[in-house]
Amino acid sequence: MQKRIYGVETEYGIIFTPEGRKTLPVEKAIRFLFEKLITTEHFLNVFLENGARFYQDTGCHPEYATPECASPRDVILYDKAGERILEDLQIYAEEKIRDERIAGKLSIFKNNTDFVGNSYGCHENYLVDRDVDFYYLAEQLIPFLVTRQIYTGAGKVFQTQDGVHYCVSQRAQHIYQKISGTTTNDRSIINTRDEPHADREKYRRLHVIVGDSNMSEYTNFLKIGTCAVVLQMIEDNYINQDFTLRNPVKAIKDISYDTTCKRKLRLDNGREYSPINIQREYCEMAQKYLEQYPVSDELKMAVEMWQFSLDCLDSDPDKLDRHIDWLIKRRMIQSYIDRKDTTWNDPRVFMLDLQYHDIRMNRGLYYLLERAGSVERVLEDEEIIKGKTEPPPDTRARMRGEFIKLARQNSIQYDLDWSNIRLGNLLNVRVICNNPFETDIEKVAELVRTIQKTNLRKTSLSKLVIQS
């Protein structure tokens, strides 16, 4: 598929730290976050004007799902826009907490683990061709996903029985299967969920739940872009080498503990490769693929960044300490340790690790580094701000976002999901769009014009279904 739909779902960690005897349950803090968004929709499940979805997930985690995006760059743009939306809601929630006369600090983190060992996810979604056998696709993709953490990991300071370890990935330690149908218990590398929110005859949704949540725009773009290239090669039956790992679940944990990225992994065929070796093989295939098949400029850029990152990891990983999350964070912590003449066992090191992921731009350590010009960027601040309210122009999200704005401006009752919009007092006007690439359906545009002229609160409409 040269045209593909992308999306990312990010679960956030939330903590309230009281400064007195009176405290605030996390459940109530989350309700304050949603209170500003109250509409006619379900209270803890809201679609936004930019086409994204914001809701409460299992375990009291606020979760933001980007709108449908047609490029890797748009995915990371709307993912960042989600951080800014959540920051606005956090400021509002803090005002409500003060009104309750509760002293304390509300913190929201874009990470994947808490201090007691719980994990929450960052799920990538890729629209794929249903003609490609799912299990063939998964087997081809798993070695890539297991080893890509060397440039997509968010980094984590882990306390173990053997002492303190700095690991490449946060999520890797919580993966227990290759493929499964669950995202909370026996977490897998690839989830079997088959909810394409599109024409089921043509597409399925590949649900990847093994990745870390990334603060770095560079890391995030590299994560999505390289996976998109590999998917396209699989769909074109271009991959002609077998990198099947003998034990991928063990391998993903071993790689995370090895910050040299050079520990050998045993393949099913008996050969041994390091994570860098495996990634180089995929990358070299991608470079040859680019010479023979049409590929977008964004994916070409992703392959160039991929090659650069592997070269640095092989020769001098510190060259990536402005680019890749786990190396940016390691440099930051090591600088603190050297400056304070302390060690990795210092409890303050664990707090630095956590504060790197604080989404508040005036508190988060990643954003402190960003303001200092110490990290590489892909996006501009202006486009992120625009992404808070404007949907992508080239996917179905455009239609959804326009409907939401119109309905709120005119106090029109509505309900919707990814593929359906229902309008009117009785929700009896229904718009169905199973084509995620559709941006402007004439019948829908006509309905919009009708709504602008007619107040649906006072008009009884016969049941209407618009199918695209």
Q: Report CA torsion sign: 296, 299, 304, 305.
A: positive
- H/E segment holding residue 18: strand 13-18
Sheet holding 420-423, edge to edge: 414-416, 420-423, 429-432, 464-467
Helix (H, G, I), strand (E, B) or coil at 438: coil
Considering only CA atoms, which of 350, 359, 353, 354 is closest in space to residue 62? 359
pLDDT, position 441: 67
Do 51 and 397 form a contact (C-beta atoms < 8 A)?
A: yes
pLDDT, position 103: 93
Considering only CA atoms, which of 138, 452, 149, 450 is closest in space to residue 274? 149
pLDDT, position 41: 45
Mean pLDDT for the stretch of residues 157-177? 92
pLDDT higher than 80, residue 456: no
pLDDT, position 184: 64
72: phi > 0 → left, psi -120 to 50 → alpha, else beta; which?
Answer: alpha
Do 16 and 106 form a contact (C-beta atoms < 8 A)?
A: yes
**What is the CA 316 to chain-centroid distance, rounded?**
28
Catalytic machinery residues:
57
The phi and psi torsions of 281 (rounded to 5 degrees) equal: -60, -45
Which residues have C-beta within 8 Å of that of residue 405, sequence separation ≥ 6? 49
- At 440, is the pLDDT very low, low, confident or very high (cuts 50, 70, 90)? confident
Sheet holding 53-57, edge to edge: 45-47, 53-57, 61-65, 6-11, 122-129, 203-208, 188-191, 177-180
Helix (H, G, I), strand (E, B) or coil at 108: strand
Do 339 and 308 form a contact (C-beta atoms < 8 A)?
A: no
Between CA 206 and CA 194 the distance in angstroms is: 8
Determine the straight-line distance between the first and last CA of the chain, rounded to whole angstroms: 21
**What is the CA 43 to chain-centroid distance, rounded?**
23
The phi and psi torsions of 189 (rounded to 5 degrees) equal: -75, -45
The phi and psi torsions of 407 (rounded to 5 degrees) equal: -65, -40
Amino acid occupying residue 293: Y
Mean pLDDT for the stretch of residues 147-166? 94
| 62-66, 93-97, 179-183, 398-402, range with the lowest pLDDT | 179-183
The phi and psi torsions of 197 (rounded to 5 degrees) equal: 50, 40
Mean pLDDT for the stretch of residues 1-12? 93
| Beta bridge pairs of residue 348 | none
pLDDT, position 114: 85
- At 454, is the pLDDT very low, low, confident or very high (cuts 50, 70, 90)? low
Q: Write out pLDDT tens, residues 363-383.
A: 999 999 999 999 999 999 999
237: phi > 0 → left, psi -120 to 50 → alpha, else beta; which?
Answer: left
- At 26, is the pLDDT very low, low, confident or very high (cuts 50, 70, 90)? confident
| 167-181, 220-234, 253-267, range with the lowest pLDDT | 167-181
| 40-54, 142-156, 229-243, 331-345, range with the lowest pLDDT | 40-54
Between CA 443 and CA 43 the distance in angstroms is: 30
- At 182, is the pLDDT very low, low, confident or very high (cuts 50, 70, 90)? low
Mean pLDDT for the stretch of residues 332-343? 98
Reading the block at residue 226, the tokens are: 């390289």
Please name the residue that has the structure tokens 């903590």.
15
Which residues have C-beta within 8 Å of that of residue 184, sequence separation ≥ 6? 58, 59
DSSP count for the chain of H helices, then E strands: 14, 18
Considering only CA atoms, which of 87, 71, 345 is closest in space to residue 229? 71
pLDDT, position 462: 47
* Comparison of pLDDT for 35 and 4, the residue scoring more: 4
- All domains of the chain, ordered by start, with CATH? 6-386 (3.30.590), 396-467 (no CATH)
Between CA 45 and CA 39 the distance in angstroms is: 10
